[in-house]
Amino acid sequence: MTQAQWVEQLADADYAKRAAASAALMRDDTLDEPALRAMLLADDHPERRRRLLAIAEHHIMRGLVAEVARDPREPDAPPDRGAVGFSYDPLLPDNNPHGPGAGLIVLATMPGFPGYAYLQTGDIILAIAGRSTRSATVTSIRNWVQLEIGRHREGDRVTLTVHREGETFDVEIPCASITALNEVYSTTGLGDTSRRDKYQQPLDETMARLTEGLPEPEALTPGE
């Protein structure tokens, strides 16, 4: 489908179609500020506008993250350790109804990082790169996550086995830079995805340019 067709589906009555369209536009690395501005100018449908603003935030942050990840002082440096960009709560094996091992409940994802485009709050991750764990403590599960994602490098793709809304499937996610993740977000791993102030300002400035002169969309009504 084309970008215009995906944008059109952002206001479809079928939630699954709206979600699929949002995901497709989140993952479209060709979207830049002019393209996002044009989409926002298209109309003021409240559902479409709300989703487009979230998509715009992700792509603006993606550009800021890319700048952090590039260090012109070290042009020959090897790729950084990989990062996906999500906060989670460990699910111990005895409390995991979706498999014999441990799991991760996704608490939040971080705009600008791949997790925001590929994962959803409430997803349960059952395996990383085909590997699961039967670790029975919170600390050992967190160590497992760091090991399994950390063995990938920036630019690699990591496969997560995800349980969502009654279905279990694999999703292949490109890895970003762990250095950029730690630079842009102050994370505790407990659902906190606080963006550092020096990245909030350029985001706000760009969002202001994107929305300048746009009329306020009508409020959503029940059923929309």
> pLDDT tens, position by position, for the chain (224 residues)?
888 889 889 988 898 899 999 999 999 999 999 999 999 988 778 888 889 999 999 999 999 888 887 665 566 667 789 999 999 999 999 999 998 999 999 999 999 999 999 999 999 999 999 999 999 999 999 999 999 999 999 999 999 999 999 999 999 999 999 999 999 998 665 666 788 888 999 999 999 999 998 876 555 444 44
Q: Rounded CA gap, 157 and 114, in Å?
A: 10
First to last CA, the chain: 24
Q: Rounded CA gap, 81 and 133, in Å?
A: 21
Residues in Cβ contact with 94 at an 8 Å cutoff, skipping those fewer than 6 apart: 136
- pTM of the predicted structure, to 2 decimals: 0.88
pLDDT in tens, 79-119: 789 999 999 999 999 999 998 999 999 999 999 999 999 99
Residues in Cβ contact with 68 at an 8 Å cutoff, skipping those fewer than 6 apart: 177, 179, 180, 183, 184
Conformation bin of residue 74: beta by default, left when phi > 0, alpha when psi is -120 to 50:
beta
Q: Rounded CA gap, 40 and 53, in Å?
A: 8
Confidence at residue 192, expressed as pLDDT on a 0 to 100 scale: 64
Confidence at residue 83, expressed as pLDDT on a 0 to 100 scale: 94
Conformation bin of residue 2: beta by default, left when phi > 0, alpha when psi is -120 to 50:
beta
Provide the pairing of β-strand 82-83 with 176-177: antiparallel
Q: Rounded CA gap, 134 and 170, in Å?
A: 19
Q: Do residues 72 and 43 touch, judged by C-beta distance below 8 A?
A: no
Query: How many CA atoms are closer than 13 Å to the CA of 213, on its beta-carbon side?
Result: 6
